[in-house]
């Protein structure tokens, strides 16, 4: 495999665990994208959402702003989710590990291994 790209927050322990898992498996990381320092543009959010299987899978309901903005009381459309993730990096479930035209959001060793073809 040619390697993966990682969208993450360097100080996030879950992101660090995911990167360690990739290193342990000998997977080359082509690039890192700090989601706070380099926020995603709307088109990039749409692309990542497509790669993970939909905006719902990329969106983090665990973000503090999710409850603070009372979003849990609303019905959010796919467009709402994409807009929110483009406006606020904390709504993107981290890390996002991209392998070609597929990706996984949030860290699960099983999902990462499936993404990488094991």
- Asked if residues 55 and 82 have their Cβ atoms less than 8 Å apart, the reply is yes
How confident is the model at residue 3, as a pLDDT? 87
Q: Sketch out the chain's domains with CATH numbers.
A: 4-115 (3.40.30.10)
Note the pLDDT of residue 74. 94
The pLDDT value recorded for residue 26 is 94
Closest-CA residue to 67 (of 46, 45, 90): 90
Please say if the pLDDT value at position 117 is more than 90: no
Residue pLDDT, tens place only, 30-42: 999 999 999 999 9
* Residue 2: pLDDT band with limits 50, 70, 90: low
Q: Write the pLDDT tens digit of every residue in 80-97.
A: 999 999 999 999 999 999
**Does the pLDDT at position 43 exceed 80?**
yes
pTM for this one?
0.94
Averaged confidence pLDDT in the chain: 95
């Amino acid at each position: 495999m040619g390697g993966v790209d990682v969208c993450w927050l360097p100080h996030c322990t879950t992101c660090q665990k995911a990167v360690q898992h990739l290193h342990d498996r000998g997977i080359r990381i082509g690039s890192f994208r700090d989601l706070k320092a380099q926020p995603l543009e709307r088109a990039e959010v749409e692309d990542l959402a497509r790669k993970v299987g939909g905006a719902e899978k990329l969106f983090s309901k665990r973000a503090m702003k999710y409850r603070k903005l009372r979003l849990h009381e609303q019905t959010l459309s796919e467009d709402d989710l994409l807009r929110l993730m483009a406006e606020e990096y904390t709504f993107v479930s981290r890390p996002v590990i991209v392998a070609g035209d597929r990706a996984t959001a949030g860290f699960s060793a099983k999902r990462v291994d499936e993404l990488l073809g094991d």
